[in-house]
Structure 1
Amino acid sequence: MKVTPFLMFEGRAEEAMALYCETVPGSSVLDVTRYGAGEDGPEGTVKLARASIGGQEVMIFNSPVHHAFTFTPSFWFFVDCSSDEEQDRIIDVLSKDGSFLMPTGNYGFSQRFAWLNDRFGVSWQINLP
Protein backbone atom coordinates (compact mmCIF):
# COMPACT_ATOMS: atom_id res chain seq x y z
CA MET A 1 0.00 0.00 0.00
CA LYS A 2 1.11 3.54 -0.71
CA VAL A 3 -0.46 6.81 0.47
CA THR A 4 0.27 9.94 -1.55
CA PRO A 5 -0.87 13.54 -0.93
CA PHE A 6 -2.87 14.86 -3.89
CA LEU A 7 -3.18 18.59 -4.68
CA MET A 8 -5.93 19.80 -7.03
CA PHE A 9 -5.55 23.14 -8.78
CA GLU A 10 -7.72 24.92 -11.33
CA GLY A 11 -5.25 25.91 -14.04
CA ARG A 12 -2.20 26.73 -11.90
CA ALA A 13 -0.73 23.27 -11.28
CA GLU A 14 2.41 23.82 -13.35
CA GLU A 15 3.13 27.19 -11.73
CA ALA A 16 2.69 25.73 -8.23
CA MET A 17 4.77 22.64 -8.99
CA ALA A 18 7.60 24.76 -10.40
CA LEU A 19 7.55 27.06 -7.37
CA TYR A 20 7.67 24.16 -4.91
CA CYS A 21 10.43 22.31 -6.77
CA GLU A 22 12.54 25.48 -7.07
CA THR A 23 12.02 26.47 -3.43
CA VAL A 24 12.20 23.30 -1.32
CA PRO A 25 15.62 21.58 -1.37
CA GLY A 26 15.60 18.01 -2.63
CA SER A 27 12.56 18.54 -4.87
CA SER A 28 11.96 17.61 -8.50
CA VAL A 29 9.26 16.91 -11.04
CA LEU A 30 8.95 13.15 -11.51
CA ASP A 31 6.55 13.02 -14.46
CA VAL A 32 3.88 15.09 -16.20
CA THR A 33 0.86 14.17 -18.32
CA ARG A 34 -0.64 17.03 -20.31
CA TYR A 35 -4.13 17.58 -21.68
CA GLY A 36 -4.37 16.67 -25.35
CA ALA A 37 -6.56 17.99 -28.13
CA GLY A 38 -10.24 17.41 -27.45
CA GLU A 39 -9.78 16.68 -23.73
CA ASP A 40 -11.55 18.63 -20.99
CA GLY A 41 -8.59 20.84 -20.03
CA PRO A 42 -6.70 23.38 -22.16
CA GLU A 43 -4.42 21.51 -24.57
CA GLY A 44 -0.79 21.36 -23.40
CA THR A 45 -1.50 22.23 -19.76
CA VAL A 46 -0.70 19.90 -16.89
CA LYS A 47 -3.38 17.27 -16.46
CA LEU A 48 -1.65 15.14 -13.83
CA ALA A 49 1.88 15.24 -12.46
CA ARG A 50 4.00 13.66 -9.79
CA ALA A 51 6.62 15.66 -7.93
CA SER A 52 8.96 14.88 -5.10
CA ILE A 53 8.76 17.82 -2.69
CA GLY A 54 11.57 17.51 -0.20
CA GLY A 55 11.51 13.76 -0.76
CA GLN A 56 7.71 13.42 -0.34
CA GLU A 57 5.93 12.23 -3.46
CA VAL A 58 2.92 14.44 -4.25
CA MET A 59 0.31 14.09 -7.01
CA ILE A 60 -0.64 17.37 -8.70
CA PHE A 61 -3.79 17.74 -10.79
CA ASN A 62 -5.34 20.53 -12.85
CA SER A 63 -9.09 20.14 -12.62
CA PRO A 64 -10.95 21.29 -15.74
CA VAL A 65 -14.03 21.73 -13.55
CA HIS A 66 -14.51 24.73 -11.25
CA HIS A 67 -15.16 23.72 -7.65
CA ALA A 68 -16.77 25.72 -4.84
CA PHE A 69 -13.85 24.82 -2.55
CA THR A 70 -10.11 25.22 -2.42
CA PHE A 71 -7.31 24.27 -0.03
CA THR A 72 -7.71 24.49 3.73
CA PRO A 73 -5.11 25.07 6.46
CA SER A 74 -6.28 21.78 7.97
CA PHE A 75 -3.75 20.14 5.63
CA TRP A 76 -0.22 21.50 5.30
CA PHE A 77 3.31 20.67 4.33
CA PHE A 78 5.68 20.66 7.30
CA VAL A 79 9.25 21.62 6.39
CA ASP A 80 12.18 21.27 8.80
CA CYS A 81 14.94 23.64 7.70
CA SER A 82 18.64 23.27 8.41
CA SER A 83 19.53 26.96 8.89
CA ASP A 84 18.08 30.44 9.45
CA GLU A 85 19.05 31.36 5.89
CA GLU A 86 17.29 28.36 4.38
CA GLN A 87 14.17 29.01 6.44
CA ASP A 88 14.14 32.73 5.55
CA ARG A 89 14.50 31.96 1.83
CA ILE A 90 11.69 29.40 1.84
CA ILE A 91 9.39 31.66 3.85
CA ASP A 92 10.13 34.65 1.60
CA VAL A 93 9.36 32.71 -1.59
CA LEU A 94 6.27 30.86 -0.37
CA SER A 95 4.72 33.86 1.41
CA LYS A 96 4.92 36.15 -1.65
CA ASP A 97 1.30 37.00 -2.52
CA GLY A 98 0.19 34.60 0.23
CA SER A 99 -0.73 35.18 3.87
CA PHE A 100 0.63 34.28 7.28
CA LEU A 101 -1.37 32.25 9.76
CA MET A 102 1.51 32.52 12.27
CA PRO A 103 4.40 34.86 11.39
CA THR A 104 7.96 33.72 12.03
CA GLY A 105 8.59 33.56 15.75
CA ASN A 106 9.33 31.55 18.86
CA TYR A 107 6.13 29.77 19.88
CA GLY A 108 7.60 27.65 22.66
CA PHE A 109 7.39 24.36 20.74
CA SER A 110 9.95 25.73 18.26
CA GLN A 111 12.57 28.46 18.46
CA ARG A 112 11.71 29.60 14.95
CA PHE A 113 8.47 28.66 13.23
CA ALA A 114 6.13 30.13 10.61
CA TRP A 115 2.78 28.98 9.18
CA LEU A 116 1.58 30.45 5.92
CA ASN A 117 -0.71 29.95 2.97
CA ASP A 118 1.06 30.40 -0.36
CA ARG A 119 -0.43 32.27 -3.35
CA PHE A 120 -2.29 29.10 -4.39
CA GLY A 121 -3.87 28.61 -0.95
CA VAL A 122 -1.67 25.64 0.01
CA SER A 123 -0.65 25.76 3.67
CA TRP A 124 2.97 25.39 4.85
CA GLN A 125 4.56 25.15 8.27
CA ILE A 126 8.23 26.12 8.06
CA ASN A 127 10.23 25.07 11.11
CA LEU A 128 13.78 25.46 12.34
CA PRO A 129 14.20 22.67 14.94
Structure 2
Amino acid sequence: MQTNAYLYFDGNCEEAMTHYERVLGGRMIAMLRATGTPAEAQMPPGWAEKILHACLDVGGTTLMASDAPPNLPAGTPGGFSVNINTDTPEEAERVFAALLEGGEVRMPMAPTFWAQRFGMLVDRFGTPWMVNCVLPECTEAGAETAVPAA
Protein backbone atom coordinates (compact mmCIF):
# COMPACT_ATOMS: atom_id res chain seq x y z
CA MET A 1 0.00 0.00 0.00
CA GLN A 2 1.22 3.52 -0.75
CA THR A 3 -0.15 7.00 -0.09
CA ASN A 4 0.44 10.01 -2.32
CA ALA A 5 -0.61 13.63 -2.26
CA TYR A 6 -2.99 14.66 -5.06
CA LEU A 7 -3.19 18.40 -5.67
CA TYR A 8 -5.87 20.32 -7.57
CA PHE A 9 -4.99 23.55 -9.36
CA ASP A 10 -7.09 26.36 -10.74
CA GLY A 11 -5.95 26.07 -14.36
CA ASN A 12 -2.19 26.31 -13.71
CA CYS A 13 -1.31 22.67 -12.99
CA GLU A 14 1.26 22.45 -15.78
CA GLU A 15 3.08 25.57 -14.52
CA ALA A 16 3.02 24.34 -10.92
CA MET A 17 4.20 20.81 -11.65
CA THR A 18 6.95 22.02 -13.98
CA HIS A 19 8.09 24.37 -11.19
CA TYR A 20 8.06 21.52 -8.64
CA GLU A 21 10.00 19.30 -11.06
CA ARG A 22 12.73 21.95 -11.31
CA VAL A 23 12.82 22.91 -7.61
CA LEU A 24 12.63 19.38 -6.21
CA GLY A 25 14.83 17.74 -8.83
CA GLY A 26 12.06 15.36 -9.78
CA ARG A 27 11.15 13.61 -13.01
CA MET A 28 7.78 14.11 -14.69
CA ILE A 29 6.23 10.70 -15.31
CA ALA A 30 2.98 11.88 -16.92
CA MET A 31 1.24 15.07 -18.02
CA LEU A 32 -2.09 14.04 -19.59
CA ARG A 33 -4.40 16.57 -21.26
CA ALA A 34 -8.04 16.04 -22.19
CA THR A 35 -7.20 16.63 -25.88
CA GLY A 36 -7.41 13.34 -27.75
CA THR A 37 -8.99 11.41 -24.88
CA PRO A 38 -12.61 10.26 -24.46
CA ALA A 39 -12.98 13.04 -21.86
CA GLU A 40 -12.38 15.77 -24.47
CA ALA A 41 -16.01 15.76 -25.70
CA GLN A 42 -17.25 16.34 -22.15
CA MET A 43 -15.04 19.36 -21.48
CA PRO A 44 -16.31 22.94 -21.54
CA PRO A 45 -14.82 25.32 -24.12
CA GLY A 46 -11.15 26.06 -23.48
CA TRP A 47 -10.73 23.19 -21.02
CA ALA A 48 -9.37 20.47 -23.36
CA GLU A 49 -5.80 21.75 -22.93
CA LYS A 50 -5.98 21.61 -19.14
CA ILE A 51 -4.18 18.86 -17.24
CA LEU A 52 -6.34 15.82 -16.45
CA HIS A 53 -3.56 14.04 -14.57
CA ALA A 54 0.11 14.70 -13.82
CA CYS A 55 2.63 12.54 -11.94
CA LEU A 56 5.97 13.77 -10.67
CA ASP A 57 8.49 11.33 -9.20
CA VAL A 58 10.49 12.94 -6.39
CA GLY A 59 12.98 10.55 -4.85
CA GLY A 60 10.73 7.53 -5.24
CA THR A 61 7.57 9.29 -4.06
CA THR A 62 4.91 10.37 -6.52
CA LEU A 63 3.27 13.79 -6.31
CA MET A 64 0.10 13.78 -8.39
CA ALA A 65 -2.05 16.68 -9.58
CA SER A 66 -4.57 17.99 -12.09
CA ASP A 67 -6.45 21.12 -12.96
CA ALA A 68 -9.65 21.11 -10.91
CA PRO A 69 -12.54 19.84 -12.99
CA PRO A 70 -15.14 22.53 -13.73
CA ASN A 71 -17.56 21.03 -11.19
CA LEU A 72 -14.88 20.91 -8.45
CA PRO A 73 -13.29 24.31 -7.86
CA ALA A 74 -9.66 24.17 -6.68
CA GLY A 75 -10.10 26.60 -3.80
CA THR A 76 -7.42 27.04 -1.18
CA PRO A 77 -6.14 23.74 0.22
CA GLY A 78 -6.36 23.43 3.99
CA GLY A 79 -5.81 20.94 6.74
CA PHE A 80 -2.63 19.46 5.24
CA SER A 81 0.87 20.28 4.00
CA VAL A 82 3.10 18.50 1.54
CA ASN A 83 6.23 17.58 3.53
CA ILE A 84 9.70 17.59 1.97
CA ASN A 85 12.55 15.89 3.85
CA THR A 86 16.03 16.99 2.77
CA ASP A 87 19.44 15.51 3.55
CA THR A 88 21.20 18.77 4.43
CA PRO A 89 20.28 22.12 5.99
CA GLU A 90 21.59 23.83 2.84
CA GLU A 91 19.21 21.84 0.65
CA ALA A 92 16.34 22.66 3.02
CA GLU A 93 17.16 26.37 2.74
CA ARG A 94 17.38 26.16 -1.08
CA VAL A 95 14.08 24.29 -1.46
CA PHE A 96 12.31 26.60 1.00
CA ALA A 97 13.52 29.72 -0.84
CA ALA A 98 12.61 28.34 -4.27
CA LEU A 99 9.11 27.26 -3.20
CA LEU A 100 8.57 30.58 -1.42
CA GLU A 101 9.03 32.72 -4.57
CA GLY A 102 5.73 34.61 -4.82
CA GLY A 103 4.33 32.72 -1.83
CA GLU A 104 3.87 33.35 1.89
CA VAL A 105 5.82 32.19 4.96
CA ARG A 106 3.77 30.36 7.58
CA MET A 107 6.79 29.53 9.79
CA PRO A 108 10.26 30.86 8.96
CA MET A 109 13.02 28.36 8.21
CA ALA A 110 14.93 27.79 11.45
CA PRO A 111 16.47 25.11 13.66
CA THR A 112 13.99 23.32 15.95
CA PHE A 113 14.31 20.69 18.67
CA TRP A 114 13.69 17.93 16.06
CA ALA A 115 15.27 19.44 12.95
CA GLN A 116 18.41 21.10 11.72
CA ARG A 117 16.03 23.24 9.67
CA PHE A 118 12.24 23.39 9.46
CA GLY A 119 9.91 25.88 7.83
CA MET A 120 6.35 26.15 6.51
CA LEU A 121 5.03 28.12 3.55
CA VAL A 122 2.26 28.39 1.02
CA ASP A 123 3.63 28.70 -2.50
CA ARG A 124 2.33 30.97 -5.27
CA PHE A 125 0.06 28.15 -6.48
CA GLY A 126 -1.65 27.86 -3.07
CA THR A 127 0.05 24.59 -2.04
CA PRO A 128 1.05 24.39 1.65
CA TRP A 129 4.55 22.96 2.22
CA MET A 130 6.68 21.89 5.17
CA VAL A 131 10.43 21.70 4.50
CA ASN A 132 12.25 19.52 7.00
CA CYS A 133 15.89 18.53 7.54
CA VAL A 134 15.69 16.38 10.66
CA LEU A 135 18.44 15.93 13.23
CA PRO A 136 20.73 12.94 12.53
CA GLU A 137 19.53 11.11 15.66
CA CYS A 138 15.99 11.21 14.28
CA THR A 139 16.96 9.43 11.05
CA GLU A 140 19.23 6.69 12.43
CA ALA A 141 16.29 4.39 13.15
CA GLY A 142 14.52 5.40 9.94
CA ALA A 143 11.96 7.53 11.75
CA GLU A 144 12.27 10.57 9.48
CA THR A 145 9.66 12.54 11.36
CA ALA A 146 10.33 11.27 14.87
CA VAL A 147 10.96 13.62 17.75
CA PRO A 148 14.22 12.87 19.60
CA ALA A 149 13.89 11.29 23.05
CA ALA A 150 14.17 13.71 25.96
The 5 A counterparts of 1:62-101 are 62-65=67-70, 67=73, 69-72=75-78, 74-101=79-106
Give me the whole-angstrom Cα distance separating, in 2, the residues matched to 1:80 and 1:117. Answer: 16
Name the SS for the 1:108 alignment partner: coil
Distance of aligned partners of 1:4 and 1:107 in 2 relative to their CA distance in 1, 3 Å threshold: closer
Q: Which runs of 5+ in 2 are unaligned?
A: 135-150
Give me the whole-angstrom Cα distance separating, in 1, the residues matched to 2:82 and 2:116. Answer: 19
Distance of aligned partners of 1:83 and 1:12 in 2 relative to their CA distance in 1, 3 Å threshold: same
Name the SS for the 1:3 alignment partner: coil
Distance of aligned partners of 1:4 and 1:91 in 2 relative to their CA distance in 1, 3 Å threshold: closer
Q: Which moved more, 1:92-101 or 1:76-85?
A: 76-85
Give me the whole-angstrom Cα distance separating, in 2, the residues matched to 1:29 and 1:90. Answer: 18
Partner of 1:116: 121
Distance of aligned partners of 1:84 and 1:6 in 2 relative to their CA distance in 1, 3 Å threshold: same
Alignment: residue pair count: 127
Q: CA deviation at 1:44?
A: 2.5
Give me the whole-angstrom Cα distance separating, in 1, the residues matched to 2:50 and 2:108. Answer: 34
Q: Which moved more, 1:59-68 or 1:48-57?
A: 59-68
CA-based RMSD of the aligned residues comes to 2.0
Q: CA deviation at 1:68?
A: 7.2
Bigger proportion of residues as strand: 1
The 5 A counterparts of 1:9-88 are 9-25=9-25, 27-36=26-35, 38=41, 39-40=43-44, 42-65=47-70, 67=73, 69-72=75-78, 74-88=79-93
Structure of higher CA gyration radius: 2
Distance of aligned partners of 1:64 and 1:2 in 2 relative to their CA distance in 1, 3 Å threshold: same
1:48-101: per-residue Cα shift (whole Å, max 9, x none)?
1122133211221112426273211x2112212122331221111100111111
Bigger proportion of residues as helix: 2
TM-score calculated relative to the size of structure 2: 0.73
Percent identical pairs in the alignment equals 28
- The answer to whether the 8 A contact 1:99-1:117 is kept is yes
- The answer to whether the 8 A contact 2:103-2:123 is kept is yes
- The answer to whether the 8 A contact 1:11-1:64 is kept is no
